[in-house]
Structure 1
Amino acid sequence: MSYETDHLGFLLNAQSWDKGWTETVAKNLSLNLEPLDLEIVESLRAFYFEFDLSPPMRPLVKHIKTTFGADIGNSIWLMKRYGESPARVLAQLAGLPKPKNCL
Structure 2
Amino acid sequence: MNLDLDGEGFLRNRDDWSEEVAAYLAQQDGYEFNDEMLELIKSARAMYEENGVVPPIRKFSKQVGVDSKHLYDIFKKGPMKLICKWGALPKPTGCV
TM > 0.5 = yes
TM-score class, shorter? 0.7 to 0.9
- Tell me the residue number matched to 2:73: 80
Offset at residue 25 of structure 1 (A): 1.0
Deviation >6 Å, runs of 4+: none
Which whole-Å CA distance do the structure 2 matches of 1:89 and 1:15 have between them? 18
Offset at residue 13 of structure 1 (A): 1.9
- Tell me the residue number matched to 1:92: 85
Offset at residue 64 of structure 1 (A): 1.9
TM score, norm. by length of structure 2: 0.88
Tell me, which stretches of 5 or more residues in structure 1 are unaligned? Answer: 66-72
Offset at residue 78 of structure 1 (A): 0.6
TM score, norm. by length of structure 1: 0.82
Which whole-Å CA distance do the structure 2 matches of 1:89 and 1:8 have between them? 11
Offset at residue 101 of structure 1 (A): 0.5
Which whole-Å CA distance do the structure 1 matches of 2:12 and 2:54 have between them? 13
**Partner secondary structure for residue 4 of structure 2:** coil
Tell me, which stretches of 5 or more residues in structure 2 are unaligned? Answer: none
Offset at residue 32 of structure 1 (A): 1.3
Query: What is the total number of aligned residue pairs between the two structures?
Result: 96
Q: Is 1:12 the equivalent of 2:12?
A: yes
